[in-house]
Structure 1
Amino acid sequence: MNGALDTKALLRLMAWLSPAFPIGGFAWSGGLERAVADGLVANARDLEDWLSTVLRRGALWNDAVLFSEAWRQAEDRKTIGEVAALGLALAGSSERFSETLSLGKAFVTAASAWPHPVFERLPADVPFPVAVGAIAASHEVPCVPALAAFLHAAVSQAVSAGIRLSVAGQAEGVAIVAALEAVIDDLSQRAASTGLGDLGGATVQAEIASLRHETQHSRLFRS
C-alpha cells in the first residue's frame, strides 16, 4: 500500500491530477464561493483555515476514505458499485452531488486513454474519489502517494478558486499549498488504512455554504 512510485506511476499521477486534465475542475468551488459571499472566508488566513478543516473533518476527509476503499476494492465489481453509490449518497447538497458525479464521469472518460478492464467494472455513475482510487489501483499506483496527489490537487483547485474570488493573491495561494503539505501527508497516511466506518464529518458551516450556494444569483462557480 505504501510502495514506492515507479516512473510510469508518477507520470500517470501527474497527468491524471494535473489542472490541465479535462475534467472541468475549474468550474466548481465546493461551496467556497458562498463562504466568501457570507464573509466566512475573507482573506488568505481564513482560506487556509477553511481548507485545513475541510481536509481534517469535512468532505475531503470523506473523499479520502472513499478513495482508499475504492483502491482496495478495485477488482470487485459489486463492491465498487456499492462504494460508488455510498459516495453519491453522502453528498450534502445537490450541487455537491453534481460536482462529484460530474468530475467522476469526466475523469473516467479522460482516463480511458489508458485502457484497462477496470473501466468495465466501474458503474456509470461514479463519484470522483471512487473513480480516481479504483483507476489508480488498477494501474498499480500505490495508495498513499495516489491519495496524497488527489488531496493535493483538490487543495490546489480550491486555492485557485480562492484567488479567483479575490481572498488571496498568487503568492499567498502558493504559501497556503505549502502550509497544508504536512496536513495532506498525515491525512494520506491515516486515510489509507481506514474503512467505511471511519466516514463522518463535523464541518457544518461548509455544508450550509454548499446548500446556500444553490440560491446564489451572481456566481463564478457551479458549486
Structure 2
Amino acid sequence: MAMAGPWVIPTVNTPMDDGLLVLAQWLSPGFPLGSFAYSQGLESAIADGVVGDAETLELWLADTLAHGTGRTDAILIRTANAATDRNALSEVDAAARAFASCAGRSIELHDMGAAFSNTVDAVWAFGLDGLSFPVGFGAACRARGIDVDRAGPFYLHAGVANVVAAAQRLMPLGQTRAQGVIAALSPLCERVAAETRGATPDDIATASFAADIAAMRHETLEPRIFRT
C-alpha cells in the first residue's frame, strides 16, 4: 500500500518572482505538449456546419468554457493544487480520467498530461509522473509556488488560443478576427476560473452537450486533421 506523504518540495519565491514567466513558458505554443494536434471536437463541428465564422466560433468556445471542459479543467486544477500528498493527487487524477466525456477527451488528457509531466519533471524535478494535463498543471503550480488564482485564467486562455489556432486551419478565419475572438473570451476565462474557487470533483458537471457530441463524432470523422 502506498504511503501518504509529501510528493514535492515547494519552491519559495522571491518578491520579484510571481511565476508569470514560468506560466508563460508552460503554456507557450513552443512548450512540447503536442496541443496543436487537438481541436476538442471543433473539427467535427465545422464539418457539420455548426461553426463557420468568427461569431459562431466565439459562441462555441464560450459554451465550452462556461459549461464544459473549460470549467471542468479549472476545477481539476484547483483540486490538484490543493492536494497535500501523492494519494490525494492520485485520486484527483483518477477523477479527471473518469469524467472524460469520450475516448478522444481521454486521449487528450493522457497524452498532453504525459508530455507536460515529462518535460516539467526533466527541467524542474517536481515528480508529476504522468498526471493528466489539468491535474499535472495544478500540481506543478503548487510545487512552483504559483498562485492558482493567477494560473487558472492563464490555462483557460491558452486553451482558447489553441482551439482558435485549429479553427484557422479548418475554415476562413484571418489573423485579426482570430485575435478578436481570443480577446473577447479573455474576461470569460477569468470569470470561470474565479467561479471555481472552493470547488471539488463533486462539482464537475457539463451542459456543453453539443461539444461533447462533436468530440464523440470526431472519433469516426473521415477525413480529419486533428486527433480530437
Tell me if TM exceeds 0.5. Answer: yes
Deviation string for 1:171-218 (max 9, x for gaps)?
A: 111001110111011112122332222210101111110111111111
1:6/1:97 CA distance change after superposition, 3 Å = farther
In the comparison of the two structures, how many residue pairs are matched?
216
User: Cα RMSD over matched residues?
Assistant: 1.8
* SS of match in other structure, 2:106: helix
Structure-2 separation of matches of 1:182 and 1:161: 21
> Which residue in 1 is equivalent to 2:32?
22
Give the conservation status (yes or no) of the 8 Å contact 1:84–1:123. Answer: no
Q: Which amino acid aligns with 1:189?
A: A
Structure-2 separation of matches of 1:55 and 1:131: 20
Give the conservation status (yes or no) of the 8 Å contact 1:41–1:167. Answer: no
1:191/1:163 CA distance change after superposition, 3 Å = same
Whether 1:77 aligns to 2:83 is no
Whether 1:52 aligns to 2:34 is no
Deviation string for 1:73-103 (max 9, x for gaps)?
A: 1x31001001101101111111111011100
Report matched runs for 1:168-179 at 5 Å.
168-179=173-184
> Which residue in 1 is equivalent to 2:97?
88
Unaligned 5+ segments in structure 1 are none
Shift of 1:7: 3.2
* Correspondence for 2:189 among 181, 184, 190: 184
Shift of 1:40: 1.0
Whether 1:62 aligns to 2:72 is yes
TM-score where L is the length of structure 1? 0.92
Structure of larger gyration radius: 2
Unaligned 5+ segments in structure 2 are 1-14
Q: Which amino acid aligns with 1:104?
A: G
> Which residue in 2 is equivalent to 1:162?
167
Identity of aligned residues (%): 36
* SS of match in other structure, 1:141: coil
> Bigger shift: 149-158 or 105-114?
105-114
Q: Point out 4+ residue stretches in structure 1 off by more than 3 angstroms.
A: 5-8
Give the conservation status (yes or no) of the 8 Å contact 1:47–1:167. Answer: no
TM-score where L is the length of structure 2? 0.90
Deviation string for 1:154-182 (max 9, x for gaps)?
A: 00001101111114221111001110111
> Which residue in 2 is equivalent to 1:98?
107
1:30/1:210 CA distance change after superposition, 3 Å = same
